[in-house]
Chains A and B, each alone.
Chain A
Amino acid sequence: MKLTIALPKIPDIELVALEGLERLARSMGISEEKIGEAKILVTEAIINALEHSGQKNPTVRVEFSMTKKELVVLVRDYGKGFEPGTIEEPDIRKKVSSKNKRGWGLKVMKSMSDDFKIESGKRGTKITIKKFLS
């Protein structure tokens, strides 16, 4: 099953995508634990895209492709792009004493997913996340 949504940047708009994801997953009998992890992955991908696209009025396109075995999430923004290799992996020991305590999104997505890919260029960024569901 597939679901595609375009989200403008308004507060908590990611909850709209989570609602769709949850309904899709429940209709397919996916476990609560896997739904919970999928919701966190989708949340992080969307807020990351909306926050870092660099556009004044960004829109993020989200696509879910779900089977009983796996979920593939594509989150695409049309902003300025970035170089993923330049992003330093956060470390809690440093963050505790640092002024900037944020910057966890990519680490959470990489660690919680079963496959994670970023494609970024001048015309935007596409994040592809795969999560096994069984």
Chain B
Amino acid sequence: MDQPFALTSDLRNNCLVIATSGYVNNVGGEAIAKEFARHFEKGTKKVVINLAKSKVVNSIGMSFLIEIIEQLEESGGKLVFTDLDPAVEKMLAIMGLFKFAGKELNVEDALKSLSSRK
């Protein structure tokens, strides 16, 4: 069975990198949003969410990420997803998240794409 949700976060080149593991449900989505808020308050506006170890997500968990997108849109920031399982990527595309957020193969590529932004 899928492992319980957990996350780690790291600041790299002024970008917040959040890596999750396990099922991203409402609890997981809220935890990601809280971790983002903690850094956003201090001025971080570039965010990478690495979902490599989250093969199962649900739309309630993902809806918390729309909160992150809203705050980044208002502040000129940017969110990039990386290491997406094909099914998770399809779900995010159906929800339209890539109209506002980017996607890259891995964290290094995401950091490169964000480094070109002010």
A contacts, CB < 8 Å to B? 11-12, 14-16, 18-19, 33, 36-37, 39-40, 43-44, 47, 90-93, 95-97, 101-105, 107-108, 111-112
- B27: nearest chain-A partner, CB-CB: A11
Interface 1/0 per residue, B66-105 and A, CB below 8 Å: 1101100100000000000111101100111101100000
Contacts A19-B1, A43-B58, A96-B73 given; does A101 touch B91 at CB 8 Å: no
A12–B57 Cα distance when bound, in Å, is 11
Contacts A33-B87, A37-B87 given; does A44 touch B94 at CB 8 Å: no
B59 at the interface (CB under 8 A from A): yes
A97–B70 Cα distance when bound, in Å, is 7
A44–B91 Cα distance when bound, in Å, is 11
- 25 intermolecular pairs with C-beta atoms under 8 Å apart: A11-B27, A12-B23, A14-B58, A16-B1, A18-B1, A33-B86, A33-B87, A36-B55, A36-B86, A39-B87, A40-B57, A40-B91, A43-B56, A47-B58, A92-B95, A92-B96, A92-B97, A93-B99, A101-B63, A101-B67, A102-B60, A103-B63, A104-B59, A104-B62, A105-B59
Contacts A19-B1, A43-B58 given; does A104 touch B23 at CB 8 Å: no
A12–B22 Cα distance when bound, in Å, is 12
The number of chain B residues with a CB under 8 A from chain A is 31
- B99: nearest chain-A partner, CB-CB: A92
Count chain A CB atoms within 10 A of each CB in B23, B56, B100 and give the residue with the most. Answer: B56
A33–B55 Cα distance when bound, in Å, is 11
Contacts of B100 in A (CB 8 A): 92, 96
